[in-house]
């Protein structure tokens, strides 16, 4: 298996050194910074992460600061990145590092896997980038590259992990190899286009110049469910807006919103705002209310202090009565 990867190793590494994007997390081997970048980049585009990356370390310059911060502050810092479960895992992992590892990010691969929210691929990135371990990354980009190289569009994750391990072992440069694979998949070997004419490893790729029609059709997508929510805006000219914290599980878990009532069916009127999630389409209907708010919650005048869902921010921006508190 090693000989299979010996040919593309040097060309790919040379290509990467000449064409790599200048990204801030590529200028450090600090496991805390690498960890945060890897989690931010899960299901989030680089252009979205870039401005938020340095902002994060201004708020939480160390694992110690992160672990000591209230969860609300962590969620607020994550605001706009989506998939807030990642932020909750980061906070829990920081506290575990303080309790079990004396505040030092663990160097052992198995100990990394023991931290909340860190799977095999994220641990592989941290271990290779920070500690030069021969541990592969298997994100969506790398999976696609490996499937095309071997012309195995139906390869299972188990098979891909084996191929990824053989490749990184053959490279002798684990950190740069993982970066190279991810960069190749993010730039030249994308899901809908394959630039084989300028790809550094096309001579070793079994799918080169064959087009992307050999890739298996996308799996049947989970249908998007329409959800209809009444958002009750209790506004007080002096106290602000009444907010409640969402439950620990479910949509917008742990975030702050005005009181929400799920409607049994679609109202006759048009929604004030429609917000798209991965498998949900939220139809938000809102109305300013003068009636007393429900018992659970609090008045908030400075919304910048709490983490609100992006959908609620958009909704409030459309409501004249609530705009003053945004």
Does 214 score more than 50 pLDDT? Answer: no
Q: What are phi and psi of 2, to 5 degrees?
A: -60, -40
Over the stretch 105-126, which tens digit does the pLDDT of each residue have? 999 999 999 999 999 999 999 9
Tell me how far apart the alpha carbons of residues 290 and 236 are, in angstroms, rounded to a whole number.
Answer: 8
pLDDT of residue 325: 53
Q: What mean pLDDT, rounded, does the chain reach?
A: 92
What is the secondary structure of 160-213 as a DSSP string? HHHHHHHHHHHHS-HHHHHHHHHHHHHHTB-SS-B-GGG-TTGGG-TTTTS-GG
Is the pLDDT at 3 greater than 80? The verdict is: no
Reply yes or no on whether the pLDDT at 245 is more than 50: yes
The predicted model scores a pTM of: 0.86
b/e code 150-174 from CB counts within 10 Å (16+ = b): beeeebeeeebbebbbbbbebbebb
What percentage of residues in the chain have a pLDDT greater than 90? 83
Res 122: pLDDT: 98
| Whole-number Å distance between alpha carbons of 289 and 120 | 49
CB 69 within 8 A of CB 56: no
d(CA 117, CA 39): 8
What was the pLDDT predicted at 289?
87
Confidence of residue 222 (pLDDT cuts 50, 70, 90): confident
pLDDT of residue 210: 86
56-69 pLDDT, tens digit per residue, is 999 999 999 999 99
Pair 33, 49: CB distance under 8 Å: no
Residue 322 pLDDT class (50, 70, 90 cuts) = low
Least confident of 18-32, 37-51, 148-162, 203-217: 203-217
Residues with catalytic annotation? Answer: 38
Q: Which two structure tokens, joined as six digits, stand for 10?
A: 């040097």
| Domains identified in the chain and CATH numbers | 2-214 (1.10.340.30), 225-323 (3.90.79.10)
If pLDDT is split at 50, 70 and 90, which confidence band does 4 have? low
Kindly state the average pLDDT of the residues 293-297.
Answer: 93
Q: Is the pLDDT of residue 70 over 70?
A: yes
The Cα 305–Cα 114 span in angstroms is 32
What contacts 61, CB < 8 A, 6 or more positions away?
none
Q: What pLDDT was estimated at residue 256?
A: 96
Tell me what the mean pLDDT of segment 132-142 comes to: 96
Distance CA 7, CA 21 (A): 24
Element (H, E) at 313: helix 310-317
User: Quick one: pLDDT band at residue 290, thresholds 50, 70, 90?
Assistant: confident
Pick 123 or 4 by higher pLDDT. Answer: 123
């Amino acid at each position: 298996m090693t000989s299979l990867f010996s040919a593309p190793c040097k060309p790919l590494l040379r290509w990467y050194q000449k064409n790599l994007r200048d990204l801030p997390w590529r200028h450090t081997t600090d496991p805390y910074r690498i960890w945060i970048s890897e989690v931010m980049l899960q299901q989030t585009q680089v252009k979205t992460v870039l401005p938020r990356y340095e902002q994060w370390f201004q708020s939480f310059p160390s694992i110690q600061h992160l672990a000591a911060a209230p969860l609300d502050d962590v969620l607020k810092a994550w605001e706009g990145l989506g998939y807030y479960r990642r932020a909750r895992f980061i906070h829990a992992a920081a506290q575990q590092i303080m309790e079990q590892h004396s505040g030092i990010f663990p160097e052992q691969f198995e100990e990394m896997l023991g931290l909340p929210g860190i799977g095999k691929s994220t641990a592989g990135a941290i271990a290779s980038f920070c500690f030069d371990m021969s541990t592969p990354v298997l994100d969506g980009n790398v999976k696609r590259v490996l499937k095309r190289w071997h012309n195995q569009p139906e390869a299972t994750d188990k098979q891909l992990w084996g191929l990824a391990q053989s490749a990184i072992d053959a490279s002798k440069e684990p950190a740069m190899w993982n970066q190279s694979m991810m960069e190749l998949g993010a730039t030249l070997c994308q899901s809908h286009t394959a630039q084989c004419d300028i790809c550094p490893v096309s001579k070793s790729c079994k799918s080169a110049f064959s087009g992307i029609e050999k890739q298996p059709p996308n799996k049947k997508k989970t249908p998007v469910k329409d959800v209809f929510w009444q958002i009750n805006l209790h506004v007080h000219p002096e106290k602000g807006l009444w907010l409640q914290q969402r439950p620990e599980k479910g949509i917008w878990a742990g975030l702050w919103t005005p009181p929400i009532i799920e409607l049994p069916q679609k109202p006759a009127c048009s929604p004030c705002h429609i917000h798209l999630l991965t498998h949900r389409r939220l139809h938000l209907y809102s109305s300013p209310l003068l009636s007393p708010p429900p018992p659970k919650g609090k008045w908030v005048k400075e919304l910048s202090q709490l983490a609100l869902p992006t959908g609620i921010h958009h909704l409030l921006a459309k409501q004249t009565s609530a705009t003053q508190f945004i």
